[in-house]
Structure 1
Amino acid sequence: MAPINSNNIPITELFWSLLDKADRKFSRVRDLPIYGRNRNDADLHKAFKIYTQLWKLQQEHRQKLVEAGLRRWEIGEIAARIAQLYYGQYQRTSDSSYLAEAYIFYEAILSREYFRDSSGSPAQQDMALANKQLRFLARFLIVCLVLGRREMVAKLVGLLKSMVDECKKSFQETEFKEWKHVVQEIVRFLKVDTPFMNMRPLRYSFLFDVHPDSLPIVASSYTKRNLVLRDVILSSFHNNEVKFTELTLDTFRMLQCLEWEPSGSFSTRSGADNSHFGTGTNRVNLLQDIRDHTLPPNPRKLMLYRPSVTHFLMVLSTICEDLPPDGIMLIYFSTAGGPAISNPVSLVSEISLDAAEKIGENFNNPEMSSPVRPPHGRPTHASIQNKESHIAGSDQQGRLWFGSRGNGGSNFIYPCDLIPFTRKPIFLVIDSDKSQAFKVIHGAEKGETTAILLSPSSRPPPLTSSGEYARFQNGSQFTMFLTAPVQAFCFLIGISGTNFDRDKYDKAEKLLSFSLNEWERTLISSNGLHPVWIEVLGDPFLRRLLLRFIFCKAVLALYAPTRHREEFLPDCLPHLPDTVNPESAISQSAFVLIGSYLQMPKNAIYQMLMGADETKHAHKKKSLISMQLKDVGNTKLQGLGSLDCKCS
């Protein structure tokens, strides 16, 4: 490539040549798959290098380029492409520092109004430029949502609404109908993703969660591996679910739950300093080390929205093939067992999907965009020697639907589809009304025992039918227990998150943390703990999911409306020791302690069947936790004394 200060080529000619080359490189990078570890990132590095030169060139010769015809929105387009490259790198690596870099460029575009003409009115802009600005706002919204910049999200939603309204007045309404539905999606999304749901970071935070260096060491003669969560596949689809473009609510929560909360220089929530944006080239240099070295690397995560089954299996096989020797992979499904005939996908969802595809243009890999046509061929099922007849018999009932149009077998994932991949360590989370059918995987694995968490087949009823709770009908309760357990418990027992006191919430989190640590100590000391769970406890993310699962099962088993009703209870395979089951003293006392502190209605508590020893243990734990709470406010546990655990 010719140097920028070349005296042989006019500046304007050099600029347009670099711009054309940058566009071609960007298209190639956009088409690269974002999954798999053994990738050739040469094109990515070249794209960043060209955009670095391009940005520096327009900085140094802005006036000359403007006189030659460079328009302000074209400068914004360059900055937007750089932001998209950073966001794409976040998708490939799950390194949140790239997400922060994308935010910096998008914020600069917004503050400098690159996509507005001098008139500042969309009426005097052409339709193409209006669409560019709308796509920019939607992409920036996604970055802000994932990064947790709530104040900026609110600002962008207001701008998106006003921009769509202005465009509807200035252009044909049919051209912007899908953008109206995009606005409806984000408004609906934010009605569910309330401040109460963000009282604490969903990410692994050292302020609330145990530091990895402080995790107890699980000694075992069965395994010497120290498995680490390396790769994650997240797929969620339900009819009329809460989502924004292709980011569904369940996937959004799990995505955050499997990342470290940024600390140090990347922990600022009130905004980012973009003063450097126009003064140098470091911000567009991929080779610059911008990671936060105070944190371990995040596991790589891939979000799949409405994939074809063949595409999903191709992605799964690629990730399994590339999984490091010390790696374990998490697969998360939140989906129904099949299309609801009586409740088909609404027209709003269909239009929104089209809008999502338009927003995703030049943003995500087209191969990863969710196809809406059914695949041509059915994936070949592996031959399962053990339980083959049982699995075959359960295929019709035990299957998951990704949202592909059509009712053929090629549109569903069956338990036997996953068995060939059990040659590698897998942590499987299935949140579906058909989740229990996937129990057949246990015992049929091809090499590694799969750790399986299964949701209840039915959603437990709330104590009240308040509108606050009704909003959460579009999000999974099981996923909420895994990602925000205190909030899930509150909504289950009919407690609204409106005006919830922050100090009270922090103490409830401390109670939960104490209980989770108790369950962990019990598991570690259990002789019957399966080796796969021993390995799981060695990874901070998986450990937290397992312990929250135990809490979820205890709550739903001891919650009066669901007591002894299997359809409302989650399950896991291999089974955990009886010392942590819902009937154990540790589980019952945790339920009573947390529920009573949150002033749980008495009609939610099933009469406990504890003996004298268990009662003594519960009161001893109450005293210990009360001492713990003194550190955060010295507040008495309200109502705890009235909930004695006596024999009936």
Structure 2
Amino acid sequence: MTMQQRKDCQFKSECGRCYHNKMSTSDVSLPVLDENEKKIVNEFCHLLEKSKQLFNGLRDLPQYGHKQWQSYFGRTFDVYTKLWKFQQQHRQILDSKYGLKRWQIGEVASKIGQLYYHYYLRTSETNYLNESFNFYSAIRQRGYYSRASKEERPDLMVKKLRFYARFILVCLLLKKMKLVKDLERDLGKQIDDYTSTYQPEDQSEWKTVLSEIREFEDLKYSELTLDMFRMLQTLEREPQEDLSNQIYDASPAPGRPPYLLPSYMKKEENGDRNNRRENPHKYLLYKPTYSQLNTFLASGFKELPPTGIILLYISADGSPSSMKHGDDPAYDLGGVVTNARREGEEIIRTKKLGHLKEVHCLHPGDLYPYTRKPLFVIVDSDNSSSFQNIPNLFGQPVVCLLSPERAPPTMQDKHRRGNLFTMFLHDPLMAFCYVCNIYEVPVDLWDKCTGIIDKFMSEASKLFSRSKKLDNMYIQFIGDDFLRLLMLRFVFCYIVLILHRGFKGPNFYPTCSPLLPTDEILEHPVLYKVVLDLSTLVDNRTLFAEPGEGDLHGAT
């Protein structure tokens, strides 16, 4: 076997060494192996190659669909489990006789971390996310990639950069923000090292990745002090108790780049509310094209169980129509831009016709086919009102919770960076502090505020159950714990903003469809009093108007 053949084999398999039954006697660079050592090395190479084949095969599976992936994932997990245990049991022989390098161990660990992460995405089981974190954390602590730059192979440096990017994503989802900052600094240094050494074509892409991580980090906790962040970490509910922690972990980035999250949620079976709800199968799409979004929605629609509900969360910049009044609300009012990319042929065709429309704009009418099953829509956009009149065409419940379209001048920058509506739905108390310009809260005060928020939710829940004017659409959804929580937080958002002196006019308030009863829920004195009590507790009472003072009526 020639030196070149050996190098080619090493590059293709990343095995470090490749043993053949027949070797040239002049090849003295390979150590002599006894039969047991040959068996161990060959078994390791077999497991390594098999694991790579299965892992690469995962890329061929469609990202949508819920049934065909599980058996394939299971086989892949089994092989990687055997591989990981095998290299641990025979590390000494693999190090001395095979030339196993630490970055190769790191690569195996990194792929196991990826498997756990994708299993989490498919199942929403947080324990898989924690397992992914454990493997990524071990890679960093043990320095598996610490000597990757010494190999003089740019592909290894890319593997290292990808490891950092994936680790940061997992930490963001687990809200380990202090670690995110450390990893972000490390990633920045690694990107500088990579680009200065190899001057690759993808350096601008990696700079963009780093920039987006920093924007995302600034977005979520830009003005919270470290002490408050630590307090929030302590006070957070477990994800199993409050599924909003799972649904809204990926908060919109500056300028509302589109996030669209179609998901289904399984309702209680056999009428027993005490049964544990199955975790929702969810898709998280970042800047999808229209065809991608439609494909994922159709797949979720197809696999929705009989008692399931489609939940679609949209955060995107609006694409308002130039038509002030249209005959068809399905398309004449515009929608939201899911992706700014344009198709070349479409541009030419629309220019010839004398007008130009967004190719990847999601219009309300695009959702009409999916109203054949229960549909719950949340839209956070400056053109959210375009989704205000989705009709009930098939007798199934359809509810839309829609964000304010404007923010006060003093909060416009924050509004762009934080998507206030999403914050209210995710963490009402944090959102309340945000609109009150409060960035430091002692732990004991936070506990008291949390008690008042809980009181608001309890009172609002009673009003929902007692209301005689509540639309049947809400009644059909209110039995679901998570959707009921979203409705209650929507009401809290509405009342806070309608009482806040800085928010003036219908465009500053959230809206909903169908309408919630104003006198029985949205402007009920009991709920007003709870919000005002909260403002008094945080010493910001002057920011809020008294009921009956001025125009407190929004558009619902």
Shift of residue 559, structure 1, vs aligned partner: 1.9
Q: Indicate which of 88, 92, 96 corresponds to 2:122.
A: 92
Residue deviations 1:56-91 (CA, integer Å, cap 9, x gap): 222222232232232221111111111111111111
Whole-angstrom CA distance in 2 between matches of 1:575 and 1:241: 29
SS in 2 for 1:448: coil
Question: 2:256 touches 2:419 (CA, 8 Å); kept in 1?
Answer: no
Q: 1:458 to 1:235 in 2, by over 3 A?
A: same
Query: What is the identity, as a one-letter code, of the residue corresponding to 1:529?
Result: L
What one-letter code is carried by the residue in structure 1 that aligns with 2:163?
Answer: F
Match of 1:348 in 2: none
CA shift digits 1:425-449 (9 cap, x unpaired): 111111112211212213x432302
Contact 1:557 1:582 in 2 (8 A): no
Partner of 2:172: 145
- Does residue 132 (structure 1) correspond to residue 159 (structure 2)? The answer is yes
Provide the residue aligned with 2:85 in structure 1: 56
Distance 1:584 1:529 in 2: 14
Distance 1:544 1:574 in 2: 17
1:522-573 Cα deviation digits (max 9, x unpaired)? 111112222332232222211111001001111222222334x111121112
Q: Deviation at 1:453?
A: 0.6
- Matches of 1:520 and 1:597 in 2, distance apart? 23
Residue equivalent to 1:333: 314
Structure 1 unmatched runs, 5+? 1-5, 213-227, 259-293, 342-388, 611-648
Distance of 2:236 and 2:530 partners within structure 1: 22
> Aligned residue for 2:104?
74
Q: How far apart are the structure 1 equivalents of 2:87 and 2:452?
A: 56
Name the aligned partner's letter for residue 331 of structure 2.
D
Q: Deviation at 1:8?
A: 12
Separation (CA, whole Å) in 2 of partners of 1:93 and 1:186: 25
Give 3-state SS (helix, strand or coil) of 1:561's partner. Answer: coil
Cα gap change, 1:391 to 1:339, in 2 (>3 Å): closer
Q: Does 1:41 align with 2:70?
A: yes
Higher RCO (C-alpha under 8 Å, 6+ residues apart): 1
Residues 485 and 594 of structure 1, relative CA distance in 2, 3 Å threshold:
same
The SS at the match of 1:11 is helix
Alpha carbons of structure 1 residues 124 and 36: separation in structure 2 relative to 1, 3 Å: closer
Deviations 1:306-356 (A, max 9, x none): 111122112111111111112112101111223999xxxxxxxxxxxxxxx
2:531 aligned with 1:583: no
Q: Given the two structures, how large is their TM-score scaled by the length of structure 1? A: 0.67
Contact map agreement 1:430 1:453 (CA 8 A) in 2 = yes
Name the SS of the counterpart of 2:459 in structure 1. helix
Residue matched to 1:592: 532
Match of residue 478 from structure 1? 421
Q: What amino acid is aligned across from residue 547 of structure 1 in structure 2?
A: L
2:351 aligned partner:
none
User: Alpha carbons of 1:40 and 1:137: their partners in 2 closer, same or farther (altered >3 Å)?
Assistant: closer
Query: For the Cα contact (< 8 Å) 2:374–2:396, is it kept in 1?
Result: yes
Q: Secondary structure at the match of 2:328?
A: helix
1:534 maps to a residue whose letter is I
Q: 383, 389, 407: which is aligned to 1:434?
A: 383
Offset at 1:408?
3.8
| 1:446-595 to 2 correspondences below 5 Å | 446-462=394-410, 470-471=413-414, 473-493=416-436, 495-497=437-439, 499-563=440-504, 565-595=505-535
Q: CA deviation at 1:154?
A: 2.8
Q: Report deviation, 1:300.
A: 2.1
**Partners of 1:202 and 1:178 in 2: how far apart?**
36
Q: How does 1:45-444 map to 2 (within 5 A)?
A: 45-66=74-95, 67-117=97-147, 122=149, 125-172=152-199, 176-194=203-221, 195=224, 196=228, 199-200=231-232, 205=237, 241=255, 296-338=277-319, 392=328, 395-406=331-342, 408=357, 410-442=359-391, 444=392
Measure the CA separation in 2 of the matches of 1:115 and 1:311. Answer: 35
8 Å CA contact 2:516–2:522 kept in 1: the answer is no
Instruction: Give, in angstroms, the shift of residue 139 of structure 1.
Output: 0.5
* TM-score w.r.t. length of structure 2: 0.78
Q: In the alignment, residue 65 of structure 1 is paired with which amino acid?
A: L
Question: Quick check: 2:173–2:250 contact (8 Å CA) kept in 1?
Answer: no
Whole-Å Cα distance in 1 between the matches of residues 518 and 276 of structure 2? Answer: 35
> What does the per-residue CA deviation read over 1:247-306, in whole Å, with 9 as the maximum and x for residues that have no partner?
x8x78xx99xx9xxxxxxxxxxxxxxxxxxxxxxxxxxxxxxxxxxx9754322210111
Deviation at 1:237, TM superposition (A): 6.9
C-alpha distance after superposition, 1:598-646 (max 9, x if no partner): 22252x3234229xxxxxxxxxxxxxxxxxxxxxxxxxxxxxxxxxxxx
Residues 607 and 200 of structure 1: CA distance in aligned 2, closer, same or farther (over 3 Å): same
Q: Matches of 2:193 and 2:209 in 1, distance apart? A: 15
Letter of the 1:205 counterpart: R
Alpha carbons 2:389, 2:513 under 8 Å: kept? no
- Tell me, yes or no, if the aligned pair for 2:334 and 2:363 is still in contact at 8 Å: yes
Matches of 1:202 and 1:461, distance apart in 2 = 34
Q: Which residue of 1 aligns with 2:269?
A: none
Matches of 2:528 and 2:402 in 1, distance apart? 21
Q: Using the alignment, how far apart are the partners of 2:339 and 2:519 within structure 1?
A: 40
Structure 2 residue ranges without an equivalent (≥5): 1-34, 266-274, 343-355, 550-556
CA offsets, 1:188-241, max 9 Å, x none?
32223225477546998369x9x79xxxxxxxxxxxxxxx99x97999877x54
Distance in structure 2 (CA, Å) of the matches to 1:445 and 1:204: 40
| Maintained 8 Å contact 1:458/1:568 | yes
User: Cα distance 1:607–1:439, how it changes in 2: closer, same or farther (>3 A)?
Assistant: same
Secondary structure of 2:370's partner? helix
**Cα 1:242/1:173, change in 2 over 3 Å:** farther
The Cα of 1:134 is off from its aligned counterpart by 1.2
In structure 2, C-alpha distance between the alignment counterparts of 1:234 and 1:175, rounded to whole Å: 28
Cα displacement (A) at 1:7: 7.4
Structure 2 CA distance, aligned partners of 1:454 and 1:520? 20
Deviation at 1:450? 0.3
Q: Deviations over 1:439-477 (max 9, x none)?
A: 2213x4323020111112222444xx6xxx845532211
Contact 2:402 2:512 in 1 (8 A): yes
Partner residue in 1 for 2:12: none
Q: 2:236, 2:485 → 1: CA distance? A: 9
CA contact (8 A) 1:25 1:47 kept: yes
Tell whether 2:555 aligns with 1:608: no
- Displacement, 1:42? 2.2
CA distance in 2, matches of 1:77, 1:161: 21
Structure 1 counterpart of 2:350: none
Deviation at 1:415? 1.1
Does the CA contact (< 8 Å) of 1:34 and 1:92 recur in 2?
A: no
User: What displacement does 1:174 show?
Assistant: 5.8
Distance, in Å, in 1 between the alignment partners of 2:407 and 2:327 is 25
Change in CA separation of 1:124 and 1:81 when aligned onto 2, cut-off 3 Å: closer
Cα distance in 2 for residues equivalent to 1:233 and 1:33: 24
How many residues are matched?
484
* Post-superposition CA distance 1:410-432 (Å, at most 9, x none): 42111111111111111111111
Q: Residue 400 of structure 2 aligns to a residue in which SS?
A: strand
